[in-house]
Amino acid sequence: MPVQFLTEEQRTNYGRFIAEPTPADLSRYFYLDDSDRRNIAPKRGEHNRLGFAIQLTSVRYLGRFLDDVRQVPPIVLSTLAQQLDLEETDCIDSYRDQHQRLRHVEEICQNYGYRAFTEPTVGFRLTRWLYAQCWTGTDRPSLLFERATAWLLANKVILPGASLLERFISRLRQRVEKRLWQCISQSLTERQQRRMEDLLRVPEGGRRSQLDQLRIGPTQISGPSLVRALERLSKIKRYGIVIPYAGSIPPNRIASLARFATRAKAGTLNRLPEQRRLATLAAFMHTLEASAQDDALTIADALLHEIFNNAAKADQKARLRSIHDLDSAATLLADACNLLLNSEIPDTEVR
């Protein structure tokens, strides 16, 4: 499982100003309320007041404190300077004292409840939340990274380094995957495990493994194709692979393993670790019965539709063939009725 999954662009833009904040962001993150002004007012010098405001609003918006406050966009500087009644923003160049910056960071964390990523409670809560995301879904690592970043921002946790968060997510995903493989593989009996391993073996004189043969579904709509589909379904049922804990495992996780087994070559599956290999094959056989049954029903439905359609066509042809005789009989009946209803012909002469 890869440890580095972020692109270079994602890594560069992480925790930084990518573009100027929108007006909505300015009003949400960069507005200084009365409490903010009370904390800023005691700071000596315009550069310290503006620097403190930049650090406070940046951690709200980015989730991180800035090493160089001159990195903020001009619109942010002007917005904060206007609220602090500062005529010029050039004073920010004097905000270079590292000790002063660290004191401001410590004060902001203490007054506003920001915490470090390394705090035990933060790691526990994030692990529990992210574990549920991994267990119930099959999201990409990059998407989990974005969700974890949003969670840290919402819970006032200072963002760690990108590499640290990458490794955290990778280890957690690997832990969830191992638990999934273990749950499925341990639910199989020894006989079922042997049969799973036999799926990957190529019989003597053959070219394809049993797995490759089972993966091939019907491709035509015909009677022989229906027979082969039913034989395939019967063969799959004889394996009797049912995951006992399938009710407690999210169906999309089982489906994800089954999709991998559907696409991967037998040699690739054979090189997987034992637990993952057994779990993948069991998930495949668990879902294959339903798909094989759907294939057989699809062919049967198409054949029945074709049979009834042919019967309707035959009835229509018979109707067209007999319509001339029906027309002749109707004409004869009309002539007889005209004769019977003709009042000018006496009744004794009708016949």
Domain ranges of the chain: 8-112, 120-185, 190-308
Task: Decide if 61 contacts 14 (C-beta within 8 A).
Answer: no
pLDDT at 247: 60
pLDDT band for position 245 (cuts 50, 70, 90): low
pLDDT band for position 1 (cuts 50, 70, 90): very low
Please say if the pLDDT value at position 274 is more than 60.
Answer: yes
Please say if the pLDDT value at position 151 is more than 90.
Answer: yes
pLDDT band for position 95 (cuts 50, 70, 90): confident
Q: Averaged over 54-75, what is the pLDDT?
A: 89
Q: Which of 67-71, 142-146, 261-265 has the highest mean pLDDT?
A: 142-146
Please say if the pLDDT value at position 129 is more than 90.
Answer: yes
pTM score over 0.85: no
The set of residues, in sequence order, having a beta carbon less than 8 Å from that of 347 and lying 6+ positions away, is none
CB atoms within 10 A of CB 135: 14
**SS3 state of residue 222:** coil
In angstroms, rounded to a whole number, what is the distance separating the alpha carbons of residues 347 and 344?
9
Of the candidates 28, 95, 27, the residue with the CA atom closest to the CA atom of residue 55: 95
The C-alpha angle 71, 73, 76, rounded to 5 degrees, equals: 115
Each residue's pLDDT tens digit, 276-334: 888 888 888 888 877 877 777 887 888 788 777 777 677 677 776 677 777 778 888 88
Higher pLDDT, 27 or 185: 27
Please, what is the average pLDDT of the chain?
Answer: 84
Radius of gyration of the chain, Cα coordinates, nearest whole angstrom: 38
Q: Contacts for 140-145 with beta carbons within 8 Å, 24 or more apart? A: 140/5, 141/2, 141/5, 141/166, 141/169, 141/170, 141/173, 142/5, 142/6, 142/7, 142/10, 144/169, 144/173, 145/5, 145/6, 145/10, 145/169
Q: Encode 16-33: b = buried (16+ Cβ within 10 Å), e = exposed.
A: eeeeebeeeebeebbebe
In angstroms, rounded to a whole number, what is the distance separating the alpha carbons of residues 22 and 29?
10
pLDDT band for position 186 (cuts 50, 70, 90): confident
pLDDT at 246: 56
**SS3 state of residue 157:** strand
